[in-house]
Amino acid sequence: MTTSLTRRDFIRVSAAAGGLLLGVTLPADAWRRFQGQQQARIDPTLFARIAPDNTVTITVAKSEMGQGVRTSLAMLVAEELDADWGLVRVEQAPFDARYGNQGTGGSGSVMEGWTQLRQAGAKVRAMLVSAAAQEWGVPERECSTEASFVVHGKSGRRASYGAVAERAARLPVPEQVTLKPKAQFRILGKARSGIDVPDITHGRATFGIDVKVPGMLYASIERAATFGATVKSFDAAAARQVPGVRDVVQLPAVANGVVTHAGVAVVAENTWAAMQGRKALKVEWEPGPHANESTPSYHEFMSQAMNRPGAETVYRVGDAEGVLAQAAKVYSAGFEAPFLSHATMEPMNCTASVKGDQAEIWSPTQFPNWAAGATAQVLKLDPKNVRLHVTLMGGGFGRRINPDFTVEAALVSQKLQQPVKVVWTRDDDLRHDFYRPCAMHRLEAALGPEGLPVAWRHRMSTPAISATYGPPRDGGYGKGVAAGVGPELPYRVPNQVCEYTLLPSGVPRGWWRAVESTHTIFALESFIDELAEAAGKDPVEYRLALIAQVPPGQSEEDRKYPFDPERMKGVLRLAAGKAGWGKSLPRGHGMGVAVARDHLIYCAEAVEASVENGKLRIHKVVCAVDTGPIINPDGARAQLEGGVVQALSAALKERITIAGGAVEQRNFDSYRVLRINEAPLAIETHFIETDTEPTGMGEAAMATLAPALANAITRATGKRPRVLPLEVAAT
């Protein structure tokens, strides 16, 4: 039974199998964060369902990649529903336009869901109370709820949610509900284990690569190693002789915002046979326009860009050039960062079944909307005929935003008219990623009489991420690159200029956890330490003296979550204090700090490191974060611990290099990532829960680790590393 809606954009209720379904509108404003995605018309809904046995099934419409979103979003609904957490089950939403923005990234899931998901829970709860009150013939105001029961205090009567759900489903949805004050939270703010942890520890969790559908074949794709290369010819005779191989099909490169590579797919009865068949392929490639690009050629281009005014002026205030030209001394430093691969532990994969004009897809995707939309577009299917299931992901970190692996699998299945699972090898995964861009920065500053900067020039050159997907918006690419710098510089400097020059490159770029701040904040927070030293000031005090108001930008988020210098100072003081900043350290040890506001999260990190006989050891990382109220403290800590380790991995080890227009790294022997024996000995996490709406957590620890470490290494060794991954000088 379905009741009519009381408000057009709000709610849908229906009774299904004795349960209650509820949907709530999510705002469409988070779409901006990523470029190139499909801007589908949104009719977003999110569901909570109560079964007669009193279990609560909460549908999560964001993708789980280890960030704990299936736990934290369910907690938001369960809190206001006043559910018994032990009775909560979580169901993954398929792609469905009614859920609105299912895109998972940018540390935005809790921020987007904070009000809407709690309201969803509160409205279901109100309907359950109404239903029980009607059944008992008592006023609603005399009823309360506790842990999935409605209670009538005066008479002592109790009804489980399950017992009144069917009646509740027939009631109108209330327009207004009052959300709980924080003091009444029973679920939020209390540590919960990850909802999928029992399945994971028993090998029962189903990741994308574990999907099996009846009649499914397996495919392995030989892709153009050189970006932009095309298939000149291929000989599949030997491949077809490999036992188990069923078919060989050619794939075109897709362009125009969806990037896939030219290739040849070998389809077989199992993964191993497909891989063996692929080895027997002979493919001749047409090298294309990027075959002469290389890491040295990019380095040369960016180095030259540092010596002349940028192609774009990203930000300007006062007269930086004039003051720098007159200054007795100009401090200058250059920084460089390489391309990075996401290297999720689960290689890219997708299972697709395309028959005629219908497609059904099982994809470990962060952006189901984009994956389904791109599939429809490339396969020329009606978008409403593309059904997409979202699986668990063995890591995402931004790699699974792109729809390439989904589209490829659908293309192979379309050619076969049979279900097929495409599994990438590690080689495929490392060589056909969407990479964190390489980057070069030069910062220059003149200091005033107090040692504080009076003029500041920041030049940047990178292959902008957005240039992978289309022409520039807002007149250029530089604004999208300048995370935490340029217009977002949190430090008071009266004369500033920030310039950007696009590095042309055939290497596809994408969103790598925390995105541009992984190199911009490295440069900024290293340089500010250099200036503090030049001024003879303590790096923490120097920053505290400089942190100033950042004027809000044009975006809705900038207005809704305005920069607060006191919160930035707060995390810096907390991290420094907890780390024992200023205490005497053993010989060979150094401590460094860095602070940033990235993805609307204030984070400071203090790193204590030592270098002995050229061997670096990270003794302790202290991480202090202010992102407002914490939903799941244990999950939040896990995100910071993991962020520290992953950021440390990038800071010390990871580097993608290009030769002949292709990636050189092919497995974890050449693309080295941090192992347990290289992990910090201790990571401490601290929160300041400012009474505001929460923002995010997934990317919080990423930006400040590398500069805090570089600053620590500088203090330990007297030599400043300015190139990522950091090289540690022997002492």
Partner 1 sequence: MKLIVNGTTHDVAAPPAMPLLWALRDLIGLTGTKFGCGQAFCGACTVLVDGAPTRSCSVPVGAVENRLVTTIEGLVRNGKDHPVQQAWLELNVPQCGYCQAGQLLSAAALLERKPRPSDADIDTAMAGNLCRCGTYLRIRQAIKRAADIKDGRVTP
92: three-class secondary structure by DSSP: strand
> Closer CB to partner 1, residue 66 or residue 121?
66
Q: C-beta of 252: minimal distance to partner 1 in Å?
A: 27
> Closer CB to partner 1, residue 423 or residue 574?
423
Q: C-beta of 457: minimal distance to partner 1 in Å?
A: 36
Question: What is the residue type of 649?
Answer: S
284 contacts: CB under 8 Å, gap ≥ 6: 231, 232, 233, 234
Asked if residues 248 and 281 have their Cβ atoms less than 8 Å apart, the reply is yes
> Closer CB to partner 1, residue 79 or residue 684?
684
Q: C-beta of 530: minimal distance to partner 1 in Å?
A: 29
DSSP assignment of 574-617, as one string? Answer: HHHHHHTTTS---TTEEEEEEEEEETTEEEEEEEEEEEETTEEE
Q: C-beta of 391: minimal distance to partner 1 in Å?
A: 12
> Closer CB to partner 1, residue 679 or residue 723?
679
Q: C-beta of 348: minimal distance to partner 1 in Å?
A: 12
Interface residues with partner 1 (CB under 8 A) are 64-68, 193-194, 196-207, 209-210, 212, 218, 243, 270-272, 343-347, 392-397, 423, 425-426, 634-635, 638, 641-646, 649, 667-669, 673-677, 679-680, 682-683
Asked if residues 462 and 441 have their Cβ atoms less than 8 Å apart, the reply is no
Question: Burial letters for 468-494: b for 16+ Cβ neighbours within 10 Å, e otherwise?
Answer: bbeebeeebbbbbbbbbbbbbbbbebe
> Closer CB to partner 1, residue 235 or residue 634?
634
CA 161 to CA 477: how far, in whole Å? 53
- In sequence order, what E strands does 436-481 have? 439-447, 453-462
Residue 160: which H helix or E strand, with range? strand 157-160
Integer Rg of the chain from CA: 27
> Closer CB to partner 1, residue 496 or residue 646?
646
> Closer CB to partner 1, residue 375 or residue 646?
646
Q: C-beta of 340: minimal distance to partner 1 in Å?
A: 12
Q: Tokens 């990479």 correspond to what residue?
A: 435
Between helix 368-379 and helix 404-416 the angle, nearest 10°, is 40
> Closer CB to partner 1, residue 244 or residue 451?
244
> Closer CB to partner 1, residue 346 or residue 626?
346
CA 581 to CA 592: how far, in whole Å? 9
Q: C-beta of 675: minimal distance to partner 1 in Å?
A: 5
CA 78 to CA 122: how far, in whole Å? 9
Tokens at 13, concatenated: 């209720």
CA 124 to CA 129: how far, in whole Å? 9
The β-bridge relationship of strands 495-502 and 589-598 is unpaired
> Closer CB to partner 1, residue 243 or residue 475?
243
Q: C-beta of 615: minimal distance to partner 1 in Å?
A: 14
Q: C-beta of 270: minimal distance to partner 1 in Å?
A: 4
- Nearest by Cα to 336 from 526, 176, 475, 153: 526
